């Protein structure tokens, strides 16, 4: 006899195929998009990329991520967010890690990003074992996966072979969604990266852990749309709680009000209760394109876990530099030409 979760999974598959597939394209939204197998080994992402070049790479990344998160559990969400910011600008090329005047990392919108020291620590250890072999982009992608696992989330296979980018511009960091966009803008942004509406709903579920700065929600709490009043879509009790927590814009508040330290599907359960922290969270439930997905995912952790791994794998494949493109930095903070 089918379990409720199995039934819901089948329903979700059928829903996606009917609601989001474009006629003639035949895209399966529940499969990881793979690069053609006919590409040369050095010009394609591969699960076996470091098997001979640096077999210790994954173990080093995994161990270092665990060590850092054991000291500070909030770094799990920070590493996932850092990976998203990286892939959202020039693709997954480590451009967010470059630390020079005018880089993405120096942009005002990047001031709350964290986890750079984790990547630096991993890179330094890997350089001792396998000099100039493992890219910073690959390290960040795998670290986001291992951070998810450390927080209690799912595991997925990460293919490797990304090269590090040479360009990072602060003005381009403003392209990353900041939590106040409308759903149409978010859908268009995701589509520009080769992702779809399901990926939008699923990757938003990363807000099951982590925090946001109170400054990012001040308007919702005190001056929604210039009215001088709070956002009426917020639950009254939750609103009062947020006002107490966010007396200072420099303070932080949990993205998931109920289970902020547990990687689960409670984020989706909170949205119908009008307890989405960011306005983009709330809009996922009120927009007709994403509401059915939110309803299907609420309290269905196994379904969320499965698709989160799929969508994160797709995110990690966005606009990667391959082969002779880019470089492999010896220090993630600078392009090698600066040495």
Is 95 part of any known ligand binding site? yes
| Distance from the Cα of residue 134 to its chain's centroid | 21
Indicate if 100 belongs to the active site: no
Active-site entry in 33, 85, 100, 180: 85
Please tell me the distance from the alpha carbon of residue 67 to that of residue 69, in angstroms, as a whole number. 6
* Of 198, 190, 186, nearest in space to 12 by CA: 198
Residue 330 marked as a ligand binder: no
Cα–Cα distance, 95 to 166 (Å, whole number):
7
287 is in an annotated binding site: no
Q: Is 157 helix (H, G, I), strand (E, B) or coil?
A: coil
Residue with tokens 């919108």: 109
Q: 258: annotated binding-site residue?
A: no
| Residue 259 annotated as lining a ligand binding site | yes
Q: What is the 3-state secondary structure (H, E, C) of 68-112?
A: HHHHCCCHHHHHHHHHHHHHHHCCCCCHHHCCCCCCHHHCHHHCC
CB-CB contact of 97 with 116 (8 Å): yes
Burial label, 63 (beta-carbon count in 10 A; 0-12, 13-18, 19+): middle
Q: Are 297 and 62 in contact (CB under 8 A)?
A: no
- Establish whether 207 is an annotated binding residue: yes
Residue 281 is labelled as binding a ligand = no
Separation of alpha carbons 335 and 95, rounded Å: 10
* Residue 133 assigned as binding residue: no
Annotated binding site for substrate, which residues?
Answer: 177
Annotated binding site for heme b, which residues?
Answer: 207
Positions marked active-site: 85
Annotated binding site, which residues?
Answer: 86, 89, 91, 93, 95, 104, 177, 207-208, 256, 259, 264
Annotated binding site for Ca(2+), which residues?
Answer: 86, 89, 91, 93, 95, 104, 208, 256, 259, 264
């Amino acid at each position: 006899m089918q379990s409720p979760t199995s039934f819901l999974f089948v329903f979700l598959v059928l829903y996606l195929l009917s609601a989001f597939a474009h006629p003639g394209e035949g895209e399966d939204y529940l499969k990881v998009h793979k690069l053609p197998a006919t590409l040369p080994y050095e010009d394609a992402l591969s699960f076996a990329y470091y098997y001979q070049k640096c077999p210790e790479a994954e173990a080093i990344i995994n161990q270092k991520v665990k060590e850092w998160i054991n000291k500070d559990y909030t770094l799990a969400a920070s590493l996932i967010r850092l990976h998203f910011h990286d892939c959202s600008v020039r693709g997954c090329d480590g451009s967010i890690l470059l630390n020079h005047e005018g880089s993405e990392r120096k942009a005002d919108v990047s001031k709350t990003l964290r986890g750079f020291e984790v990547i630096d620590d991993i890179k330094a250890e890997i350089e001792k074992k396998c000099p100039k072999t493992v890219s910073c982009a690959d390290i960040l992608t795998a670290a986001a996966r291992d951070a998810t696992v450390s927080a209690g989330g799912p595991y997925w296979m990460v293919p490797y072979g990304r090269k590090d980018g040479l360009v990072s511009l602060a003005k381009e960091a403003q392209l990353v969604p900041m939590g106040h966009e409308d759903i149409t803008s978010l859908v268009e942004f995701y589509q520009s990266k080769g992702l779809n509406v399901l990926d939008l709903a699923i990757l938003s579920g990363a807000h099951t852990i982590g925090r946001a700065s109170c400054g990012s929600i001040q308007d919702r709490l005190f001056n929604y749309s210039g009215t001088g009043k709070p956002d009426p879509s917020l639950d009254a009790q939750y609103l009062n709680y947020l006002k107490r927590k966010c007396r200072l814009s420099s303070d932080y508040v949990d993205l998931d009000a109920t289970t902020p330290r547990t990687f689960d599907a409670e984020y989706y359960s909170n949205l119908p209760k009008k307890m989405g922290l960011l306005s983009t969270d709330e809009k996922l439930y009120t927009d007709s394109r994403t509401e059915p997905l939110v309803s299907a995912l609420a309290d269905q952790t196994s379904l969320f876990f499965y698709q989160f791994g799929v969508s994160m794998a797709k995110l990690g494949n966005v606009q990667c530099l391959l082969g002779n493109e880019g470089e492999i930095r010896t220090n993630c903070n600078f392009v090698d030409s600066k040495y």
